[in-house]
């Protein structure tokens, strides 16, 4: 019976009732768990998606802006170093403080607590920041002590973001060359701006500057500007064979670590951006082009016995000799009358060609965004040719003047100035401006100026310095003012085998008792160059010379210098030796 009752059931192929119920419960439990898990994940996804939409689309506060900011490069902003590898600018990690007002429970109480550690805030403005939006910068680039003090307060809603702070270890020393960055680390001046992309990529920038020479030059310039109560100044040291700038000073200057604390106008680069009538320093170029073109010779000369009158203009000499002057004497005595006649003989077209090749008619290609454009006569008439011959009626930057003088003394080759280190195989061949013979003649004449002429106060025992003074009245409201001058001296040393050009320019100096109330280039700027040479020459292994002097074998046709120059120079060396022995 049992068999007959089971056989129909088995024949239909259905499992026992007890097994079917257990299997169904297991499947149902698994389905329920899977459904619950899926639902949880779906809800989580919806919450996260909603939050992202809220932050990036709906909420236009600073949180979205912060989220969109690119993270700093892992390498950070690249360092800037001098030619010897000394760090001039680098970046350090710092914390910046911001607030989320949705988390700040009591803005006024939070402001009061925050001001206990950051007391220089304006309370009203701080309360407003703690009350506005989801993101508000409170202070960028906190010091470690400030960050620690704020963190100890435990105020809800205050957060930190790690950023970078640009640091300039030498402070003001090379501020105008380096420039600076804005609060977000972007270059806004100097080489920081010119090479912003490379520095932002973490590349190290190597400059031609020598921080030791930079510091020496700045100290001398600061002392001169202070002594003569000037409104500013500019200084330069340039390698005559490579065009590299070893030092560049502009005063007043600023501290790029705290750029907002030095007042208005201090970021103006007088050395590269400012253009000035440089006065008698231009006589070097007038004599160079006259000798090079064959217009005159060292034995030639001009009548300087009385002022020149051209139309409504009168050209006078500051220290009038009132006689015929030889070409060397025109430089030695800095005769405007002689230089004007010489320039007129050269002619306006030739003058413009030479000045253009000296780099004095176009903006300098130096790697600084602050580069001034020269001011030139338009139209260029005969009277302009004459005044340009002694440095009036044309305005150039001190950097351009230094590069042109380097051309005069280095054998006659012009090379563009640079603030970047040039490897030996990357030094430009240079463009021929004057012949090597003319360059040698000018070196001798520049030595005469320092030994016997207006540049005597640049002469120092043991070092052969050659150069030229410059004093130019400033044009104010359409009139030249005798009480406002640009006084300068540009020199090269050692003049028998030049290596460096040194320039010092003082803007509106005022004479004092020591200078007998004179404020000309020979009194206020020439001594700066002399002192700097004595300091930097030993640094570069340039030994003093007491037994030899540059010989210019020329016998002047005028009676002003009674002996052949080489004899006079040897006697001058004996005098220098005597002064040094006496000093020791």
Distance CA 414, CA 406 (A): 8
CB 443 within 8 A of CB 466: yes
**114: part of which helix (H) or strand (E)?**
helix 107-114
Residue 433 CA to residue 43 CA, distance in Å, equals: 80
Q: Which burial class, exposed, middle or buried, applies to 117 when counting CB atoms under 10 A from its CB (0-12, 13-18, 19+)?
A: middle
CB atoms within 10 A of CB 375: 14
Annotation marks residue 280 as catalytic: yes
Are the CB atoms for 467 and 240 separated by under 8 Å? Answer: no
458 and 493 Cβ atoms separated by less than 8 Å: no
The secondary structure of residue 261, as a DSSP letter, is G
- What is the Cα–Cα distance from 86 to 82, expressed in whole angstroms? 5
Q: Of the candidates 305, 286, 304, which has an alpha carbon nearest to the alpha carbon of residue 296? A: 286
User: Do residues 173 and 102 touch, judged by C-beta distance below 8 A?
Assistant: no
Alpha helix segments (H runs only) across 157-201: 175-178, 190-194, 196-200
Contact 533, 493 (CB under 8 A): yes
- 3-class secondary-structure state, position 508: coil
Given the residues 91, 101, 250, 280, the one annotated as active site: 280
CA angle 45, 46, 52 (to 5 degrees): 90
Contact 236, 500 (CB under 8 A): no
Show which residues are catalytic.
280
């Amino acid at each position: 019976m049992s068999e007959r009752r089971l056989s129909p059931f088995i024949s239909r192929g259905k499992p026992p009732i007890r097994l079917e119920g257990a299997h169904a419960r297991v499947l149902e439990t698994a389905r329920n768990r899977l459904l619950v898990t899926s639902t949880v994940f779906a809800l989580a996804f919806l919450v996260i998606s909603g939050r992202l939409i809220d932050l990036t689309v709906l909420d236009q506060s600073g949180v979205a802006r912060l989220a969109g900011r690119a993270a700093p490069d892992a390498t950070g902003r690249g360092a800037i170093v001098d030619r010897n590898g000394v760090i001039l600018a680098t970046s350090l990690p710092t914390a910046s403080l911001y607030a989320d007002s949705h988390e700040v429970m009591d803005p006024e109480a939070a402001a009061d607590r925050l001001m206990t550690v950051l007391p220089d805030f304006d309370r009203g403005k701080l309360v407003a920041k703690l009350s506005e939006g989801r993101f508000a910068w409170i202070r960028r680039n906190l010091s470690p002590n400030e960050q620690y003090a704020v963190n100890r307060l435990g105020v809800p809603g205050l957060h930190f973001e790690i950023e970078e702070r640009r640091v300039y270890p030498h402070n003001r020393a090379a501020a105008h060359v380096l420039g600076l960055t804005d609060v977000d680390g972007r270059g806004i001046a100097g080489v920081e701006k010119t090479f912003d992309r490379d520095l932002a990529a973490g590349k190290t920038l190597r400059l031609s500057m020598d921080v030791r020479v930079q510091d020496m030059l700045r100290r001398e310039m600061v002392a001169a500007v202070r002594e003569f109560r000037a409104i500013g100044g500019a200084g330069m040291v340039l390698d005559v064979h490579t065009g590299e700038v070893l030092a560049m000073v502009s005063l007043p200057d600023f501290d790029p670590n705290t750029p907002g604390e030095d007042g208005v106008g201090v970021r103006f680069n007088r050395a590269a951006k400012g253009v000035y009538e440089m006065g008698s320093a231009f006589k070097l170029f007038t004599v160079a082009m006259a000798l090079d073109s064959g217009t005159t010779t060292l034995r030639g000369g001009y009548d300087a016995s009385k002022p020149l009158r051209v139309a409504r203009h009168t050209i006078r000499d500051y220290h009038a000799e009132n006689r015929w002057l030889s070409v060397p004497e025109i430089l030695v005595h800095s005769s405007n009358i002689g230089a004007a006649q010489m320039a007129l003989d050269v002619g306006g077209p030739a003058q413009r060609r030479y000045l253009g090749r000296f780099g004095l008619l176009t903006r300098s290609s130096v790697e600084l965004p602050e580069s001034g454009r020269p001011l030139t006569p338009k139209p260029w008439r005969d009277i302009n040719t004459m005044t340009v011959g002694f440095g009036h009626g044309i305005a150039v930057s001190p950097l351009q003047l230094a590069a042109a003088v380097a051309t005069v003394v280095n054998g006659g080759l012009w090379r563009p100035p640079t603030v970047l280190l040039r490897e030996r195989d990357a030094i430009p061949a240079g463009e021929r401006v004057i012949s090597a013979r003319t360059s040698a003649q000018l070196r001798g004449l520049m030595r005469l100026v320092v030994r016997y002429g207006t540049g005597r106060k640049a002469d120092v025992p043991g070092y052969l310095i050659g150069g030229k003074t410059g004093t130019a009245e400033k044009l104010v409201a359409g009139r030249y003012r005798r009480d406002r001058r640009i006084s300068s001296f540009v020199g090269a040393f050692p003049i028998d085998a030049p290596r460096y050009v040194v320039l010092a320019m003082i803007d509106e100096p005022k004479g004092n008792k020591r200078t007998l109330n004179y404020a000309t280039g020979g009194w206020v700027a020439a001594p700066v160059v002399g002192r700097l040479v004595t300091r930097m020459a030993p640094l570069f292994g340039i030994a003093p010379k007491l037994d030899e002097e540059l010989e210019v074998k020329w016998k002047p046709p005028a009676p002003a210098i009674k002996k052949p120059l080489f004899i006079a120079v040897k006697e001058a060396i004996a005098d220098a030796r005597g002064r040094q022995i006496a000093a020791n």
